[in-house]
Every structure is written in C-alpha cells, then in structure tokens.
A = this chain, B = another copy of it.
Amino acid sequence: MLEAVKVGMLGLGTVGSGTVNILSRNADEIARRAGRGIKISIASVRDIKKQRACDTSGFTLTVDHNKVIADPNVKIVLELIGGTGIARELVLKAIDNGKHIITANKALIALHGNEIFQRAQEKGVTVAFESAVAGGIPIIKAIREGLAGNSIQWLAGIINGTCNFILTEMRDKGRDFDDVLKEAQQLGYAEADPTFDIEGIDAAHKLTILASIAFGVPLQFEKIYTEGITEITSADVAYASELGYRIKSLGIAKRTANGLELRVHPTLIPHRRLIANVDGVMNAVLVKADALGPSLYYGAGAGAEPTGSAVVADLVDVVRALTSDPENRVPHLAFQPDALSNIPILSMDDVSTVYYLRIHVQDRSGVLADVTNIFANHNISIEAIIQKEPQTNIASVPIIILTHEVVEQNMNKAIAEIEKLEAVTNKIMRIRLETLT
C-alpha cells in the first residue's frame, strides 16, 4: 500500500477531536476504502496545554497556524477554526500553497465561497465542505452527484438542530420557547449566545450552499430572507397541531418561473409528511427533483463525530482522487478489491430477534399455561400477550405473543413443540421484530 497521506489541522475543538478519534478508531477500514492511510501530522491550536477530547500524541501541536499551511509534507488542510476572519485568510493562503482544503465552516463558504472556489480552481486544488451542511448527512454529495441528472424543483430542509429541538420540545411537552431554550443551552445544543441558531442565520448559511449546488447559481447569502423562531408560542404549536400541522424551521429554496425563492422561516407542514416527523436535534433535507421526485436525507446535523464523519468522507474523497487512477476512483464494493474481508455470514439459526407470534388455540382452560411452559423450557421470556375474545362460529381463538430476544433455533424448537399441542389448531404465524435503535 502507498504511504499514508499527511493532513494538517487548523483548530482542534469539538469537530477536530471527533475527526481525530474517527481516523484513529477506524484507521483500518478507512485505509481499506481509500487505498492508503490518512495521517494527521500537525495541528494548530490556541492553547497547547488545553485538555483535548482526543489523543494528540501522534502528531505535532503548534500555536502557529502558518506552520500547518506551510508544511511541505501536508497535502490536505482541515480548516476547523470557524468564523470568517482568520479562517478565510488561512484557507486562501493554504490554497496558494497548493493544499487541498476540507472545511466544516458554513459561514466561510456561504460568505466567501465564490472567492475561495475561484482561487482553488486557479491552483488546481479541491475545497471540500460536506460537513458544512447538515453535519454528517451526505447531502452535498447526494445533490451534487446523486441527483446530477435532475432539474431540481425545490428543496426544504430542517438544517438547524437547535431550532428543531426547541420546536419539538414545545410540541411534545407544551413548553414555552424561553424555557426550552434554557434547557438546550444546558444540554449543549444551543450556544451561550444562541442568536445565530434561533434567528435562522446558521440555517441561511447552509441554505445558501444548498441553493447553489441545486440550481447552479453563485453563493448569495445576502439575498436570503431569514426569520427566526423566537416569536412562536406554545399556543401556536398547539393550534397548528389541531389543524393537522407541525411547525418546523425550514430552509426553502424553490425554482419558480420568475426566479428563485430562498427563505428560512418557521413553517407549518402537514403532520403526515415524513419530514414533519423529524424530531429533536436531527436534521433532514427533502429534495423535489423532476426525474426522481421527492427524496429525503436524514441524520445528525451536528456533534463531534457526526460532523467528523463528513470531514472524514471528504478526506477519503480527496485521498481516493490522489491515489487511484481517475477512472476508478471509488472501488466497486467501497473497499479496495484486495482489501475485502471474509467475515462469516451467520446461519439464520444463530440470529437473535424478538418475535411476534400468532397462535390459534381451542378456547379452553389450561392451554395458555401449556404454551407458556414450553416457552419457559426453552428460556424464552414473554414481553406481552394479547388473548382475543373468541368470535362466534369460530372454534379457535388467537393468542398474540411478543417475546424478548431469543435465538432463532430455540424459537424453532419451541414452535415445533407448541404446534404439537392438541389444543393448537393452526400453524403458528411468526414475524420477527426489530427496534432499529
């Protein structure tokens, strides 16, 4: 395998630490996907002595950002400082030095992306920013590549987790805005100064980026209409609910005959829409495209590792391009062909799940005890039983059972024994259950 690609980091806060932890924990899988290792070699921070949420022993720590972007061994620079001041300067300088850039900085891209991309174009480097919108959801990739055949009609996104958490709590518990905001701050979902989130500015940064890649227009943050959620009361949430709607803060970009609508504001949406059921701090983007129709992308929009997930995806993207022949950038099966593993595939006998069972029995005493005894003999415990009333003219009654988790082969044995009971009139119906958590 080729030598690992060396990466320099500007900033080592929450997202930076998440990125370092992912690169370290999943080093093997990442190298098998990318075709070579990815190694952080240097990181610049404000305070070298500060405790970090990651192991920094594998790389140089410096207080000098310029050392990172000037390092001749560094091929890729991660900008995780945030803001549009020094971050902009450093990114432009790093590009001038021929470094590829990966950034999670939505404000930087929304406000200075046109300038940055032009510079990158001139210098022949990539600026990747998947982590700047909707955290770990690969929404930039989905729109920019996955929907490349479509004319996109509109998109609507829950792209600020703080607002979504607040509105979800207001609905679920009838709480007031101020009260929930305080809790969000305590939980770390909202900043001490929450203006950027609750006034819709953070969402407007992200919408600027989404609109550009959807419609092929320059980044135009200044033209976005932005309205926060601060005036929504718990009464509004309740009235909306009564009318069959939920209130979500949406970023909306829509193509019309006269031009583009770009707007961030609280929005009533019908409660049965999938996106209306995206709750808490989760993000989702719904895209309506002419060929595909509606598609939705859902996941964590913030946090150390979810955002780090998108940073590392960008890293793998850049490294694959640096490594493989261009026409075979991404391996067919995600991992390099010589790096597939032989993990055994389990027999169904060895799979554990919860079971739903429908058993039809003659309506007489003692049957339920016979059934539950058989379960007990096979160490199968029962979560719930519903015994239905016998229906007229039908000799048998259904018993519905939910078990706890049990290995399939034990369940098979128990079912075989129960089916032999004289009082059991039909083949037992069984359906597996997954909680998907």
Count residues on chain A whose CB falls below 8 Å from chain B CBs: 147
Instruction: Determine whether A343 belongs to the interface, using a CB cutoff of 8 Å to chain B.
Output: yes
Q: Which of A57-65, A185-193, A284-292 contacts B (4 or more CB under 8 A)?
A: A284-292
Binds B, one of A78-86, A228-236, A370-378: A228-236
Q: Is the CB of A269 within 8 A of B151?
A: no
A356–B223 Cα distance when bound, in Å, is 24
A113 interfacial by beta-carbon distance below 8 Å = yes
Contact, CB under 8 Å: A341 / B400:
no
Q: Tell me whether A258 is interfacial, beta carbon within 8 Å.
A: yes
The one of B151, B272, B275, B432 that contacts A268, using a Cβ cutoff of 8 Å: B432
In the bound assembly, the distance between CA atoms of A317 and B272 in angstroms comes to 35
A340, B218: Cβ atoms closer than 8 Å: yes
In A295-342, the 8 Å CB interface with B consists of 295-300, 305-306, 308-313, 315-318, 321-322, 325-335, 337, 339-342
Select A343's contact among B217, B309, B325, beta carbons within 8 Å. B217
A1 CB within 8 Å of chain B: no
Q: What residues of B have a CB within 8 angstroms of the CB of A145 in the complex?
A: 138, 141, 313, 316-317, 330
| A-B CB contact pairs (8 Å), 5 listed | A149-B310, A213-B334, A214-B334, A243-B356, A291-B306
Contact status A118-B337, CB under 8 Å: yes
A395 at the interface (CB under 8 A from B): no
- Neighbour of A326 across the interface among B213, B233, B329, CB < 8 A: B329
